[in-house]
Structure 1
Amino acid sequence: MKTLVRNYDSLFNELFNNAYSSSSVLSPSANIKETDNAYTIELAIPGFTKDDFKIEVRDRVLEVSSVSQSENEEQKESYIRKEFSYSSFSRSFRLPRTVDTDQISATYENGVLNLALPKKEEAKVKEPRLISVN
């Protein structure tokens, strides 16, 4: 009988503590692309606004983070329901020395945060120069 009670408690905790939890911590997936002039990082982060993000560069480490909180209250007949929602994330990227950290820019559209990381002039691919022999 003890085993049955333990299994029931475990099931109860699994259903009501995990499956219906209204807080989440996520680590968004990133797409990173390199061109001759820049790097691009795309992070899929739906449900935020552009004001929710904190983007910092320190010692060649780019950190993107956010904390979002909301509260909903519903009153009907003889019951009250109040739900809190909390979601946050933090993602860091080690930048190569070729990135011009003063020129990094970000846009947020349709749930995707796009970071543009331009390369320094000396790191950009240059056309070959023909040298004549005298």
Structure 2
Amino acid sequence: MTLVKFNSDKRNNSSLLPGFNDVFDSIFNDTFFNDRMTMRVPAANISESEDHFHVELAAPGLKKEDFKINLERNVLNISVERQNEQNDEQKNYSKREYSYTSWVRSFTLPESANAEQIDAAYADGVLKIDISKREEAKAVRRQIEIK
């Protein structure tokens, strides 16, 4: 049995055949095409604080031992290569939106990053990487007195 989604909230009055666009939307926005069009890498958040750059990857279902993080020529590479577990092969999925068995994400560090001070932690399905900034790159703040 195949489930087909119809979007009842979307009423396109410009169509000559009502519901015709809904059929194509449900086909192209459903599992068969959508799973093949999306990349199988975890989503990343990149932020910056006064002293650090922060990279967070959403990677549920992994262990910290599954990750390999290395730095080569100012490029931070984060990779996972994991064999399918037998439990996964025995399951009959009707939809599978995450299946991180093998992937690589690469980030070029800015010149202001201190490559000698990079820390990583994995908890609650999120890999967090903190990259220190060089001292000269840290924002200098001081109060300026008005005379």
- TM-score of the aligned structures, taking structure 1 as reference length: 0.66
Tell me which of 133, 136, 146 is aligned to 1:122: 136
* 1:40 corresponds to which of 47, 54, 63: 54
In the comparison of the two structures, how many residue pairs are matched?
A: 101
Conserved 8 A contact 2:52-2:130: yes
Contact 2:59 2:100 survives alignment (8 Å): no
Q: Which structure exhibits the higher relative contact order, with contacts defined as CA atoms closer than 8 Å and separated by 6 or more residues?
A: 1
Matched ranges for 1:57-76 at <5 A: 57-72=71-86
* C-alpha RMSD of the superposition: 2.7
1:93 aligns with 2:107: yes
Unaligned runs of 5+ in 2: 1-31, 34-38, 92-98
Percent identity between matched residues is: 40
Q: In structure 1, what is the equivalent of residue 118 of structure 2? A: 104
* CA distance in structure 2 between the aligned counterparts of 1:57 and 1:99, rounded to whole angstroms: 12
Displaced runs of 4 or more, over 3 A:
none
Residue type at the aligned position of 1:90: V
CA change 1:86–1:55 in 2 (3 A) is closer
**1:88-134 Cα distance to aligned partner (Å, 9 max, x none):** 11000011011111100100001000000110111101123769xxx
Q: Return 5+ residue gaps in structure 1 as ranges.
A: 1-17, 20-24, 74-80
Question: Highest CA radius of gyration, 1 or 2?
Answer: 1
Q: TM-score when scaled to structure 2?
A: 0.61
1:63 counterpart SS class: strand
Q: Which has the higher strand share?
A: 1
The change in CA–CA distance for 1:82 and 1:27 in structure 2 (over 3 A counts) is closer
Deviations along 1:63-110, whole A, 9 cap, x unmatched? 00011113427xxxxxxx868x98111000011011111100100001
